Amino acid sequence: MSAKLRVDPIACTGHGLCHELFPEWIELDDWGYPMIDDRPIPADLLGHARRAADACPKLALLVEAERARG
Amino acid sequence: MTLPRLLAGLPEDGSPISLADHEAIHGPPGESGTGLIEATARAGLHGRGGASFPTAVKLHSVSQERGPRAVLVNAAEGEPMSFKDRVLLARAPHLVLDGALAAAAAVGADRIVVAVREDASAARAAVTGAVAERGLRRRVKVRAVPVAYLAGQEGALIRHLDGGPLKPPAVPPLPYQRGLRGHPTLVQNPETMAHLALIDRHGAGWFRELGTERHPGSALVTVTGAVRGPGVQEIACGTALEEVIRTAGGTTEPLQAVLVGGFHGTWLPADHGSITLDDENLRRHGASLAAGVIVALGESACPVQELAQTMAWLADQSAHQCGPCANGMPALAGLMAALAAGRAPREYRQRLKRWCAQVPGRGACHLPDGAVRFLSTGLAVFAEEVADHVAHGPCDACAGPVTLAVAVPRARRRAA
């Protein structure tokens, strides 16, 4: 199983903690909102992704198992 | 059957076609039932509301859901220079209703809602009258919705109709999963419904007698700007742009560019007249017919003003929910205004490039995506004019009227 990061763009208020915790996969735009790398997250970085998601004060960052789309 | 299809047999006086005349021209409704899904897939019909999503996929998705289902005819027509859906509803309401009923039968829906922009009074009166004439008042509800760019965004429209704010929801779930009152909902615009009504009657092979292999059928387009006879036309998909402009009476002055697809569309240089209006061909130029808005920009207009003022309007139409849009749209609009006024910051090129990359594709809806497509293709086509404003400030045409007027005066509307 591979996983990806997804932001709920309405919930996100641009705290930027996710970028501090997982800069390999999350950059910030000019206004401090996260830009997520769309590629599947390698297994050895999954812990960082989960920590970033857990730290989001708005619960706006999600680690999602990638499913085949029908 | 040749053109017109959807606009066939309309009374000369501008009134809606009667039920008797409608059935005399098109014949009685078909009885495709769930077979309409397969017929629509073979017909290759794509939604005519802007996103060009395959209609059969939507029909199938809703039909596979459980419990009560609904059909929503999205006639919010939020695209500022589009008039085709309100014209179709005002003139051929029975065809749209037939399509909605056929779609409801195909997906197993009981309830049908027709949401019409509140200033389109002729369209609302026509569809309300048609519903009453056919004794459908229990099953089909006609609702007025506010005039706003986001009123046509299906998620925002559904929230509004259910008593919520006119703002796009977070997705998923999509409307086919959870729509009106939480029920799986098929959302299509009036033109798509009208095509479904004819596929229901005549089948996929008939539908494909017009148009191209990859973009079959006919389409309604709204042609405006520097043309003698602006209005709504029905064309075969794949018709040359110059022919559409000729049918609109020709140009009132030489053109500098054409906007295809409206405020979320693509600018094409004026020498692209021979380009054909089908998505396969338009895609090669980064464009799509989308909801069929075609704006001819005459050489007397200032294209930098057109870009700046439209971006300001679009920034204002944002729901201000998502960071990249709430911040990026005003930033882009402000930069374009400064640029038009000859007050561009030195690093304006880098900023435009960075923001056009950062803003799209990250929101709950596609408003910023379309706005950036509109802006970035405009910046490419009008590169010389932009550089001229940066170097020398406003041009002589800057104070003139803008072509991409958000409120189009009544006199300029004309149905085919």
pLDDT in tens, A14-46: 999 999 999 999 999 999 999 999 999 999 999
Asked if residue B185 has pLDDT above 90, the reply is: yes
Structure tokens at B314: 């679009």
Is the pLDDT at B413 greater than 50? The verdict is no
- What is the nearest CA distance from B372 to chain A, expressed in angstroms? 16
- Which residue do the tokens 């038009």 mark? B340
pLDDT of B284: 94
Instruction: Name the minimum distance, in Å, from the CA of A13 to any CA of chain B.
Output: 7
Mutation to test the A interface, candidates B322, B329, B353, most A Cβ within 10 Å: B322
ipTM: 0.93
Residue from A15, A29, A58 to probe the interface with B (highest B Cβ count within 10 Å): A29
Decide if pLDDT at B410 tops 50: no
Is the CB of residue B374 less than 8 Å from the CB of residue B44? no
Query: For residue B164, what are the contacts with CB-CB under 8 A and spacing of at least 6?
Result: none
Q: Tell me whether residues A13 and B323 touch, CB distance under 8 A.
A: yes
Residues of chain A with C-beta less than 8 angstroms from the C-beta of B354: 30
Q: How far is CA B312 from CA A70, B58, B291, B358, in A?
A: 39, 34, 22, 18
- How many distinct helices (H) and strands (E) make up chain A? 2, 4
Instruction: Identify whether the C-beta of residue B321 lies closer than 8 Å to the C-beta of residue A10.
Output: yes
Nearest CB partner across the interface for A9, out of B322, B331, B358? B322
| The model's pTM | 0.94
Angle at B246 between CA B244 and CA B248, to 5 degrees: 75
Q: What is the pLDDT of residue B272?
A: 85
- Each residue of B335-355: b (16+ CB within 10 Å) or e? bbbbbbebebeeebeebbeeb
Spatial separation of the C-alpha atoms in residues B53 and B45, rounded to whole Å: 9
Using CA atoms of B281, B284, B285, B286 in order, give the dihedral in degrees to the nearest 10: 110
Residues 309 through 368 of chain B touching chain A, CB cutoff 8 Å: 321-324, 327-328, 331, 354-355, 358, 362-364
Q: Which residues partner with B257 through β-bridges? A: B269, B297
Q: Is B91 exposed, middle or buried (0-12, 13-18, 19+ CB in 10 A)?
A: buried
First-to-last CA distance in chain B?
18
The number of residues in chain B equals 416
Q: Do residue B331 and residue A32 have CB atoms under 8 angstroms apart?
A: no
pLDDT tens, position by position, B349-358: 999 999 999 9
Best CA proximity match to B232, nearest among B15, B80, B85:
B85
The beta-carbon neighbor of A12 closest among B169, B323, B355 is: B323
Q: Which residues of A touch B331 (CB under 8 A)?
A: 30-31
Torsion on CA atoms B254, B222, B157, B61, rounded to nearest 10: -120
Quickly state the pLDDT bin for B408 (edges 50, 70, 90): very low
Neighbouring CB atoms inside 10 A of B271's CB total 10
Q: Are B184 and B62 spatial neighbours (Cβ–Cβ below 8 Å)?
A: yes
**Contact check, Cβ <8 Å, B324/A29:** yes
Q: How many angstroms separate the CA of residue A7 from the nearest CA in chain B?
A: 8
